[in-house]
Chain A
């Protein structure tokens, strides 16, 4: 048996496993301390880049008698050594095994991490199925965007949090504290109390029946404590909500190692493929004064030299100029740079570019998402070719040479013409460069087209849509490849075949859980990594558990079908989503929320007021 130190000596990235970073929280282990393991089902460098984790870590640790620790998925070399040496999965702060903790929470950022969750529970020595865990603690739960369809994971988790965590986390932690103090031992009783909290879903309190054709016949509560509809939680006053004043500063290099400043939540756009655009509705902005204060505190307390203004679409902040001016007034002299990762094509300006450019320069990325105007109208991505040309001209004249364009392929109602349009659009950008009077002399541009396969997601107008079959996608990719003529265009497409199984998990029901378990048993993990993912393995798992993946991925769903996630009220109504689906079929554009309220229903959750409409 090797000691912990001996194990660390033998792994590639020991700094992922030792903790002790500046800002990590250590508390005294008293008898009434509630121990919480915040688990991110991917490796340290990815997990430590996740803003939501930083918020919840700070928030939970700000509570008395609760100690929240971080847990990440070990890489292969570490996992093998942990298994060989019986080292169970532990919290990075105390190095104690998490199976001794009270609460174990996972964040669900992508379906590709589901097998990692099972692997982590297994490494922790915790039974994977909720029904095999009779004791109230450790109580295993999950939240995050993928919790909007929790059904494929229903067998594994005791409960789910639907919606934003800032308010609901302290509420349910207090309920658990109370239960622990009372010395409670009846798990069902604890789950009943939790089910009473708005936004908490206890899957074992519901029964599902199916029609002969496999669609859902009924979804009904089997416990008086269970509500028939679970309404998402959302933060009403974003300016007043908890934001961390310090964060854990990793020793090791991580993906996003900078101050992340959330400038708003939600999005005014209504892109029909985008789940985040729906589930975080309505948009809620932070005011410049609050942002400035948070930024200063975080810079002072972290020592970072970069602030990234994050949101789904940062240039849509109504007072972005005011905010950046205020930030730059002290960032510039302190040699701190600003980055604005999510810029839109239609409101990009020289002024804004100057602000980002003042300090550091990389490539510029835009997401037209589709190649033709018709297709962009179908998905409601309101970006025109002229706007893209104008934006690229500004960028080229400002000295940028590298432009990266994101597209999706396999969208509903897509034709070959739309696919070919991607190449035309990229060519247009190249031509724009050579038409610029003030282009950088003697240089040539580089336009990268990055293409992803479309995956229909719950709570989007495309939730009923069929995913393209692999052969269809292959044909479209070949067509697109063939259309690219210029050597200035780089074509980026990673065909991982993963989008097919991702589509199954995204819109799966409870029965799919058996396939996830089987895939894990067959060795699936890190499904998001090309080096690990195997479609054959998943197909085998589906087959062995009697799941037809096509039923979930490539079958169009009927309007009146009960969808596995229908019991969740995310604010936006199903009627609105269907309306948007019909408008997509007609390539009809729906204006953004600031121009015109489309009556999505999300304002029911904010007392009828919607920030987007004013």
Chain B
């Protein structure tokens, strides 16, 4: 069996589809592409696909991941992406296919680009940076075990702030998996709570890259 890792973008009209919708879409696309894909066994066989962690509704992904296996060991992996490109809807855009190096389970961190608000000035950007630079940032964080107050400051691995086209653009690296996973919405929430110019500000979060625990780019 041949493992294949597809990198794809989730964008445009597909921003608002759920993870389940995405899984269905990918599975059908792989069938349309006529790839000799490996199916799950059992009563209701489906192409066996594994994805990078779900994006919230409305978030984009510039380098999302879908792993699957081909039954034909000798299948040219590079060709897979071309075949998929021809049969995917515009918002789910195949970028590349390769043989996976790391295990999907080893995904630990993700880079995000978060665009917040409109009509922002340099002063607003500085204020935002200071706000997110505070030694302690407490938020009410939802998890499987309920809501609790957490200091998210130590979770932010890196963060820059800039003004681009009138929006505040935060680029940051946040934990992706497990108990500490941090949704970028919490950063926006903190800004909205602390600074009047960000109250009710709209935002768009784009996940741009994945890393291992030690910061090695995931591939």
Contact = CB atoms under 8 A, between A and B. Distances in A.
Contacts of B58: 5, 8-9, 14
B32 A251 contact: no
Interface string A542-582: 00000000000000000000000000000000000000000
B14 interface: yes
B34 A300 contact: yes
Interface in B12-70: 12-18, 20-22, 24-25, 27-32, 34, 39, 43-46, 57-58
Contact of B30 (A6, A9, A300, A303): A303
Contact of A20 (B22, B27, B44, B91): B91
Given A22-B87, A22-B89, A253-B20, A303 B13 contact: no
A354 interface: no
A8 B202 CA distance: 12
Contacts of A20: 12-14, 89-91
A475 interface: no
B127 interface: no
Nearest to A95: B13
A270 B202 CA distance: 60
B57 to A, nearest CB: 6
Nearest to B203: A9
Contacts of B32: 300-303
Nearest to B26: A303
A76 interface: no
Q: Give the most central of B12, B27, B34, B91: most A CB within 10 Å.
A: B91
Given A9-B58, A335-B45, A303 B14 contact: no
B137 interface: no
Contacts of B28: 22, 249, 302-304
Interface size classification for chain B? 20 to 34
A604 interface: no
A365 B78 CA distance: 48
Interface of A: 3, 5-6, 8-9, 14-15, 17-24, 249, 251-253, 300-305, 335, 360
B87 A15 contact: no
A22 B45 contact: no
A334 B162 CA distance: 52
Contact of A251 (B27, B31, B87, B89): B89
B88 interface: yes
Contacts of A9: 57-58
- List 4 tightest A-B contacts by C-beta distance, closest first: A20-B13, A303-B28, A14-B16, A303-B31
Q: Give the most central of A301, A303, A304, A305: most B CB within 10 Å.
A: A303
Nearest to B46: A305
A22 B88 contact: yes
B86 to A, nearest CB: 11
A12 to B, nearest CB: 10
A367 to B, nearest CB: 27
Contacts of B29: 22, 303
Contacts of B14: 18, 20, 251
A9 B27 CA distance: 26
A19 B14 CA distance: 9
Given A22-B25, A302-B28, A360 B44 contact: yes
B198 to A, nearest CB: 15
Contacts of A253: 20-21, 24
A15 B21 contact: yes
Given A15-B17, A20-B12, A20-B89, A251 B202 contact: no
A20 B15 CA distance: 10
B22 to A, nearest CB: 8
25 contacts: A5-B15, A5-B202, A8-B58, A9-B57, A9-B58, A14-B57, A14-B58, A15-B16, A15-B18, A18-B14, A20-B91, A21-B89, A22-B29, A249-B28, A249-B89, A252-B17, A252-B18, A253-B20, A253-B21, A300-B34, A301-B32, A302-B28, A302-B32, A303-B29, A305-B31
